[in-house]
Structure 1
């Protein structure tokens, strides 16, 4: 298993109180796939460098997980399908 850092940008129209539940729904894929969620840091609403889908802001969250690569790929795929999630970036943090 490897360690990953996942940056998630959520649509700014989503209520900020719903963000933890939205992330937990997706992180269930990690825990079901024998992975662990090491940390979850919600930065809140921030201005983006450029507009995405004609929106200048997004709700940022950084997730640190330890999981097999297939499970992280599935998480990224499911987040891409979700209309409330604007962008994701998955980075492997160990060598």
Structure 2
């Protein structure tokens, strides 16, 4: 079986149905003997250019291992689903399981925000102690 990277964009008005679409596509792949190595829901993001007068879309990334028939079926499902604005299927040499750079930057941003907040609190506590020491001398 071959490895593929699949990205598809869903119309923003259909964002509520993305979870069920992902589940349906994953079960179809698994029924045909495919394996989903990575699945990332990137959420609603702005498009580089308008597609059918739409400026945002819901992005989903999947890395799968399956045969050509399963990919053909997935591509057909994308084609006949009006909610899918665009899709891209790329053949990969090996399975990719680590988080994508987009997800990594989001996690790093969350970590830095939380660590900045705690370091600010630590600085204010330290600053308050240092001021009280200098005033007592």
Whether the TM-score (by the shorter chain) exceeds 0.5 is yes
Which consecutive unaligned segments of at least 5 residues does structure 2 have?
A: 95-137
Q: Of Structure 1 and Structure 2, which has the larger fraction of its residues in helix? A: 2
Secondary structure at 2:33 match in 1: coil
Q: Which residue of 2 aligns with 1:52?
A: 51
1:36-55 CA distances to partner (integer Å, 9 max, x unpaired)?
11111000111111111110
Q: Which residue of 1 aligns with 2:2?
A: 2
Which structure has more relative contact order (CA 8 Å, sep 6+)? It is 1
Task: State the Cα distance separating 1:28 from its structure 2 match.
Answer: 1.9
Q: Of Structure 1 and Structure 2, which has the larger fraction of its residues in strand? A: 1
**Normalising by the residue count of structure 1, what TM-score does the alignment of the two structures yield?**
0.91
**Normalising by the residue count of structure 2, what TM-score does the alignment of the two structures yield?**
0.65
Which consecutive unaligned segments of at least 5 residues does structure 1 have?
A: none
User: 1:15, 1:77 → 2: CA distance?
Assistant: 20
4+ runs deviating over 3 angstroms: none
Task: Output the aligned Cα RMSD.
Answer: 1.3
Contact 1:27 1:75 (C-alpha < 8 Å) held by counterparts: no
Residues matched between the structures, number: 94
Contact 2:15 2:58 (C-alpha < 8 Å) held by counterparts: no
